[in-house]
Amino acid sequence: MNPIRVGLLGLGTAGGGTYDILLRNREEIARRAGREIHVVAAAVRDLAKARRRVGDAIRLGTDAQAVVDAPDVDIVVELMGGIEPARSLILSAIAQGKHVVTANKALLALHGNEIFAEAHKRGVMVAFEAAVAGGIPIIKALREGLTANRIQWIAGIINGTSNFILTRMRDLGASFADALAEAQRLGYAEADPTFDIEGIDAAHKLTIMAAIAFGVPMRFEHAYTEGISGLTAQDIRYAAEFGYRIKLLGICRRSGAGFELRVHPTLIPERRLIANVDGVMNAVLVRGDAVGPTLFYGAGAGAEPTGSSVVADLVDVTRTHTADPDHRVPHLAFQPDRVTDLPVLPISEVETAYYLRLRALDRPGVLADVTRILGDRSISIEAMLQRQPETGEVHVDVIILTHRTVEAAMVEAIAKVEALASIVAPVVRIRLERLDA
């Protein structure tokens, strides 16, 4: 049987890892796919650098459209990143009846509805395992392995940069600024780390997982995002005293007639396995009604972890290259005509527990005022800790953990607490999830 011929758009970290794996494991991959998979062409920015890597084994050029249009390319692998020209190139490949593999989470989160609709019309596949959590096969697990389940919720550490920063803040007591500088020095964070530290990258990935888990369109524009730049080592230390760790968590959960879609710093009980995922590693916890909780852990980025997922997609596409499109696994797990447009709940309607840190005058009656404000809004307290003031200090930290309540009620309560004359600084609020099995 003739080999499947691949055109790479990008030969950088992910593209290079993909090429190396295909070359190194070509026999094993062919045994799994049923035919060989050959890279025949690649579009690159730096021809000299790419030539040093691959020699004369494949055609190299700077024109990505030429790779898409090449008659000897069966599958286009987009590893360029960004929105344009990636979107136009993918749509061009689809229009020509070519299958596509991509690792572009931002593109799918923003334009996946359009791309999958076009692919469905043309009867081609768009595979995207590498778009979420690097080498962890979470897309395949949600789309196929857990297909018997009604997925109830997903909670994921899906950004390695932010997880590294929080780990250093916890282990070393480092400030956010110092931990970020170390991440940049080690190459874990970009010069402009906004997408990572403000939760945008995690929200792209969460959007994709939610679409597959719940059978809904991509809804990135409705995702709530809150980053880690405002966290302090002090709050991480206080959380630990209560038996919690703070992680940047992406959460999607069925809730009434809609679903939650949110990314924010979250306290998690330290006894939970996911709370012990440190450094640049990723983990995704999925709760299905039949299987219960399942945890997927591994490298969320890097040349070969990402390349591993890209090659897995290539093998899947190769296996079904000539199959009837109606008998393939749907792009978003559910049949296209059965995708439902469930609304995303606004963050004001989300119910969760909370960690609150108050800076208060050390005098009688302060806690009574605070607890009265919380009680008036049916917010019950689970635990409270008042730190001893330093010698000569008239202010004291008060830490409160609450039971679950609606966000709108907590926002209103915090405004009332901050208006008290005895509260001398804005209240620090971090959401808390127990992730009970």
Q: Would you say residue 191 lies in a domain?
A: yes
Q: Would you say residue 193 lies in a domain?
A: yes
Is residue 55 domain-shared with residue 193, that is, in the same domain?
no
Is residue 294 domain-shared with residue 307, that is, in the same domain?
no
- Predicted pLDDT of residue 324: 65
- Predicted pLDDT of residue 327: 65
Q: Look up the CATH number of the domain holding residue 354.
A: 3.30.70.260
- Average of per-residue pLDDT across 114-123: 95
Instruction: Give the Cα separation of 123 and 125 in Å (integer).
Output: 7
Asked whether residue 391 carries a pLDDT value surpassing 70, the answer given is no
19-28, 94-103, 306-315, 318-327: least confident range: 318-327
- Average of per-residue pLDDT across 361-381: 94
Residue after which a domain boundary falls, among 288, 311, 338? 338
- Average of per-residue pLDDT across 406-411: 98
Per DSSP, the residues of 367-380 read HHHHHHHHHHTT--
The residue segments making up the domain with residue 282 are 145-298
Q: Would you say residue 343 lies in a domain?
A: no
**Cβ-based neighbour number of residue 78 at 10 Å:** 30
Is residue 377 domain-shared with residue 313, that is, in the same domain?
no
- Average of per-residue pLDDT across 404-415: 98
Asked whether residue 405 carries a pLDDT value surpassing 90, the answer given is yes
pLDDT per residue as tens digits for the range 265-300: 999 999 999 999 999 999 999 999 999 999 999 999
Q: Would you say residue 437 lies in a domain?
A: no
Is residue 125 domain-shared with residue 234, that is, in the same domain?
no
Asked whether residue 315 carries a pLDDT value surpassing 60, the answer given is yes
**Cβ neighbours for 34, distance < 8 A, ≥ 6 positions apart:** 1, 318, 319
Is residue 357 domain-shared with residue 326, that is, in the same domain?
no
Asked whether residue 437 carries a pLDDT value surpassing 60, the answer given is no
- Predicted pLDDT of residue 117: 95
The count of domains in the chain is: 3
pLDDT per residue as tens digits for the range 5-40: 999 999 999 999 999 999 999 999 999 999 999 999
Q: Look up the CATH number of the domain holding residue 177.
A: 3.30.360.10
8 A C-beta contact, residue 63 and residue 56: no
Q: Would you say residue 344 lies in a domain?
A: no
Q: Would you say residue 313 lies in a domain?
A: yes
Percentage of the chain exceeding pLDDT 70: 97
**Any bridge partners for residue 126, and if so which?**
100
Is residue 167 domain-shared with residue 273, that is, in the same domain?
yes
Percentage of the chain exceeding pLDDT 90: 89
Instruction: Give the Cα separation of 263 and 162 in Å (integer).
Output: 12
Over the chain, what is the mean pLDDT? 94
Is residue 176 domain-shared with residue 310, that is, in the same domain?
no
- Predicted pLDDT of residue 1: 78
pLDDT per residue as tens digits for the range 238-270: 999 999 999 999 999 998 889 999 999 999 999
- Average of per-residue pLDDT across 57-70: 97
Q: Would you say residue 17 lies in a domain?
A: yes
pLDDT per residue as tens digits for the range 146-188: 999 999 999 999 999 999 999 999 999 999 999 999 999 999 9
Is residue 151 domain-shared with residue 290, that is, in the same domain?
yes
Asked whether residue 204 carries a pLDDT value surpassing 80, the answer given is yes
- Predicted pLDDT of residue 212: 95
Is residue 319 domain-shared with residue 208, that is, in the same domain?
no
Q: Look up the CATH number of the domain holding residue 30.
A: 3.40.50.720
Is residue 323 domain-shared with residue 377, that is, in the same domain?
no
Q: Would you say residue 427 lies in a domain?
A: yes
- Average of per-residue pLDDT across 411-415: 98
**So which residues are the catalytic ones?**
205
- Predicted pLDDT of residue 423: 95
Per DSSP, the residues of 304-371 read HHHHHHHHHHHHHHHHTTTS-GGGSPPTTSS-GGG---PPBPPGGG-EEEEEEEEEEESSTTHHHHHH
- Predicted pLDDT of residue 322: 60
Is residue 151 domain-shared with residue 292, that is, in the same domain?
yes
Is residue 294 domain-shared with residue 308, that is, in the same domain?
no
